[in-house]
Amino acid sequence: MVAIAIWYYVKKSDRIEEKENQIKIEKFLVDHKSHVPTRYSYADIKKMTNGFRKKLGEGGFGSVFSGKLPSNGVPVAIKVLKGSKGNGDDFVNEVGTIGRIHHINVVRLLGFSAEGGKRALIYEDMPNSSLEKFITSKDRSSHNTASFDWMKLRNIITGIAKGIEYLHQGCDQRILHFDIKPHNILLDHDFNPKISDFGLAKLCSKEDSLISMTAARGTIGYIAPEVFNGNFGTVSYKSDVYSFGMLVLEVIGARKESAVASANSEVYFPELTYKSLVQGEELDLELGDDGDAQIAKRLAIVALWCIQWYPVNRPSMKAVVRMLEGPSESFIMPPNPFASTTHTEPTATASS
């Protein structure tokens, strides 16, 4: 009897909590009516996915299904969220951020559904999946490897940088993503990168140099030191810059395994790259010619600027884009990112 009473109490509490979450979501949708995309019923979602027939992927958030818009048959990817996960904040973050913006390097949210505990998000279709798929050896067929020459990698990384720059400076409010990593970079049919998954994002005024946080957010291996160490009062847009730098180091192959594969990987592989560049040694990468070597060196130097220990020493994303697209002759080697006790003033090239 006691077990039954406990089960009944838990189920009742879950129902009350879910009702409160739905009220919160509905209030958000009413308050932001002019900024959110098209709303669909859950029955519409079921029709779009043909009864959830083709699953594209699955994670802690829920499942992604292939579908088509009812109005024009355009292919879409539909993320069906797990009703028992979280308190609706991820859903609100997604709709409240990318629901109001449009940029070539940010995935487009085309619609959503919210009925009780059933929630879904409708995105433009990304036929080439995520960047993570193309930088893990087990997924690299000869065809995919040929598609990813060094110029293509540079273009992809530059596109990601432009997307983050837009989030930081191009919107009415600054959007801090807090989970930049290869898995959250999607690729369209032309391999143009699109930043996705804004479930951890925060909005803040462009005038706010620092924001407050109550807990760390992000993925181990890509989280900036100030976030990982719990200095939540000193977190800024420079945390995204650090995550971008770690992503770049992984993409160029300077690290032999995923950033999250080992507890020490986020320290060892970037440090090895830094030492090689300082000592004038060739990077241990697959390089076709001198042009490839120059691109790899440029990307590595930019990444090492981005992962500086102190946020003030990291460049803005505007400066990162300039470094990626400008002449390589003006490049300056950054300070050692791993000498955390040494505080150095950033150069004009890096900070502006």
- Pull the structure tokens for residue 25: 């979501």
For residue 4, the tally of other CB atoms under 10 A from its CB is 8
SS3 125: coil
CA 265/CA 4 separation, integer angstroms: 48
SS3 15: helix
Angle at CA of residue 137, ends 132 and 143, nearest 5°: 90
**Active-site position among 44, 90, 125, 179:** 179
- CA 80, 239, 160, 99 dihedral sign is positive
Closest CA to 220 of 171, 181, 164, 174: 181
Contact by Cβ (8 Å): 224, 238: yes
Q: What DSSP string runs through 139-167?
A: G--HHHHHH--HHHHHHHHHHHHHHHHII
CA 246/CA 56 separation, integer angstroms: 27
* Residue keyed to tokens 């077990």: 3
- Pull the structure tokens for residue 85: 């996960």
Whether residue 46 is annotated as binding a ligand: the answer is no
SS3 10: helix
Q: What DSSP string runs through 222-251?
A: TS-HHHHTT-GGGB-THHHHHHHHHHHHHH
Residue 292 bears catalytic tag: no
CA 183/CA 153 separation, integer angstroms: 16
Helices (H), the chain: 2-31, 42-48, 89-97, 131-135, 142-147, 150-165, 225-228, 238-251, 265-278, 290-306, 317-325, 348-351
Residue set of the binding site for ATP = 79
Residue set of the binding site = 79
Instruction: State the catalytic residues.
Output: 179
